[in-house]
């Protein structure tokens, strides 16, 4: 089971990395060049425990078909014409989904 609060934290960190360092395509990224979607999520482990990045990656991987209509994360990120605004919007929607599901889980406990 994925810790949804950790997943939301990891997705927020990924969003912050893209905002701060920029966004790239066809390269996972680093702080000097910017990050792609998966690169930013994977790099979240440098800011918090590795479990945060794992939870975020697991959550967004499970929800990606819903969020994008069936693309893989890498293909979606690297699609011609993709914009940083679309990437940030997708992260915002994924964070909202994780938080919404966290609230639903809390009601069932």
Predicted confidence at residue 19, as pLDDT, reads 97
**Closest Cα to residue 28, out of 65, 78, 67?**
78
pLDDT at 108 over 60: no
Distance CA 88, CA 52 (A): 19
**Residue 103 binned pLDDT confidence (cut-offs 50, 70, 90):** low
**Closest Cα to residue 25, out of 16, 15, 33, 13?**
33
**Residue 33 binned pLDDT confidence (cut-offs 50, 70, 90):** very high
Segment 72-86, tens digit of pLDDT? 888 999 999 999 999
Report the predicted TM-score, pTM, of the whole model to 2 decimal places.
0.82
pLDDT at 32 over 70: yes
Segment 10-21, tens digit of pLDDT? 889 999 999 999
**Closest Cα to residue 6, out of 46, 63, 44?**
44
Predicted confidence at residue 7, as pLDDT, reads 82
């Amino acid at each position: 089971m994925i810790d949804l609060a950790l997943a939301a934290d990891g997705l927020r960190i990924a969003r912050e990395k893209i905002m701060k360092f920029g966004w790239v395509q066809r390269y996972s990224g680093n702080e000097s060049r910017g990050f792609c979607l998966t690169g930013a999520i994977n790099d979240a482990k440098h800011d918090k425990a590795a479990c945060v990045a794992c939870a975020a990656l697991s959550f967004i991987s499970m929800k990606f078909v819903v969020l994008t209509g069936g693309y893989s994360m890498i293909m979606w990120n690297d699609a011609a014409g993709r914009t940083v605004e679309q990437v940030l919007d997708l992260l915002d929607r994924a964070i909202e989904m994780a938080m919404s599901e966290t609230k639903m889980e809390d009601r069932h406990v």
